[in-house]
Amino acid sequence: MTHAKILGTGSYLPANRVSNTDLAQRVDTSDEWITTRTGIKARHIVAEHEKTSDLATEAARRALAAAQVSPDEIDLIVLATTTPDMQFPATATIVQQKLGIAGCPAFDVQAVCAGFMYALVTADAYIKSGMAKKALVIGADVFSRILDWEDRATCVLFGDGAGAVVLGASEERGIIHSRLHADGNYLNLLNCPAQMSDGNIMGSPFVKMDGQGVFKFAVKQLSAVADEVLQESNYTKEQVDWLIPHQANRRIIEATAKHLGLSMDKVILTVDEHANTSAASIPLALDAGVRDGRVQRGQTLLLEGIGGGFAWGAVLIEY
């Protein structure tokens, strides 16, 4: 049986690090408020010239280097983003061009903060079915461009970044099991309603969020989907070496870990330094764990994410 194995990981953060204290110079907030409610201490924000495809391409180059795979071996690119460079074409094709390759399928998936889960599961299906042998799976977002910097309830929560993995067809186990879900009834909890129409932008181009509604829904569904994936694959929580969750808020992560009975020293946490980077947050956290040596070959990883839609999912991996 063919499995999809992670051959390498990479990530990229813009150089400009903005601490809570920096942010408090221009927004009516404080380090104390942000830290106690979210665990966020800083975020990285793109420079004016930087686009989602630039962040994604750099993360992809680093993942390719780690995997020792050259760009022309890639036969699939799936990119998760909510902040594409353009209305069309897909940012995945722009990354493909920047990597100097052509011909393989390249497309975007849109599931907001659950986007990397959706992209990973899509690429896994391509590999298992024999439609691809080496896939680049990327999560990249520049949420700073769709934030209302006058709305302190949302603008303090997000950052920019990109993360990527190279997935390869393998005889060894890799992605063990996954589950994706969505429920469009929760549209009003979190959205960015703008659309282009007749040369105008219709609706607000900024993120709108019901913070407490998101919090409750996220804890409930992340706990449920983690249980579901473990049960369906006959794994116990004791077998999980690392929980690598979407990094929206330390309190959501703590509540999910508690539900699973996992201590926080089994959780890769990057929300303090990255804030919520949407589709990039899970691969950024995975790459942080790989590069600092916590995540080791042969370990079992549980990745999980949730975002607007609502859309959510979890993936169990033997790394």
CB of 107 to ligand ACO, least distance (A): 23
Q: Could you tell me which of 188, 205, 202, 190 has the C-alpha nearest to residue 147?
A: 205
Q: Applying CB under 6 A, which of residues 200, 212, 234, 236 lies at the interface with ligand ACO?
A: 212
User: 131 to 150, contacts with ligand ACO by CB under 6 A?
Assistant: none
Q: Is 192 an active-site residue?
A: no
Residue least distant from ligand ACO (Cβ): 211
Here's the x/- map for ligand ACO, 58-97, by CB under 6 A: it reads as ----------------------------------------
Residue 306 in contact with ligand ACO, rule: CB under 6 A: yes
Q: Which stretch binds ligand ACO (CB under 6 A): 32-40, 103-111, 176-184, 198-206?
A: 32-40
Catalytic option among 113, 155, 249, 274: 113
Residue 113 in contact with ligand ACO, rule: CB under 6 A: yes
CB 279 within 8 A of CB 142: no
Task: Give the separation between CA 276 and CA 38, rounded to whole angstroms.
Answer: 10
Here's the x/- map for ligand ACO, 258-297, by CB under 6 A: it reads as ------------------x---------------------
Q: Residues in the chain, how many?
A: 319
In the DSSP assignment, the letter for residue 104 is S
Task: Give the separation between CA 259 and CA 2, rounded to whole angstroms.
Answer: 33
Cis peptide before 89 (omega within 30 of 0): yes
Q: Is 113 an active-site residue?
A: yes
The count of chain residues that interact with ligand ACO, using the rule CB under 6 A, is 23
Task: Give the separation between CA 188 and CA 182, rounded to whole angstroms.
Answer: 14
- The residue with tokens 């209302």 is 148
Residue 152 in contact with ligand ACO, rule: CB under 6 A: yes
Residue 302 in contact with ligand ACO, rule: CB under 6 A: no
Residue (144 or 276) nearer to ligand ACO, CB: 276
Residue 37 in contact with ligand ACO, rule: CB under 6 A: yes
| H/E segment holding residue 12 | strand 3-12
| H/E segment holding residue 66 | helix 52-67
Euclidean distance between the first and the last CA atom of the chain, given in angstroms as a whole number? 17
Residue 248 in contact with ligand ACO, rule: CB under 6 A: yes
Which CB contacts under 8 angstroms, 24+ apart, belong to 92-98? 92/138, 94/53, 95/53, 95/56, 95/57, 95/60, 95/136, 95/138, 98/53, 98/54, 98/57
Task: Give the separation between CA 101 and CA 49, rounded to whole angstroms.
Answer: 23
Residue (118 or 126) nearer to ligand ACO, CB: 118
Pairing of strands 134-142, 76-80: parallel
CB of 232 to ligand ACO, least distance (A): 23
CB of 278 to ligand ACO, least distance (A): 7
Task: Give the separation between CA 115 and CA 231, rounded to whole angstroms.
Answer: 23
Residue (204 or 296) nearer to ligand ACO, CB: 204
Residue 211 in contact with ligand ACO, rule: CB under 6 A: yes
Known catalytic residues are 113, 246, 276
The contact set with ligand ACO (CB under 6 A) reads: 29, 33-34, 37-38, 113, 152-153, 156-157, 190, 209, 211-212, 214-215, 218, 246, 248-249, 276, 306-307
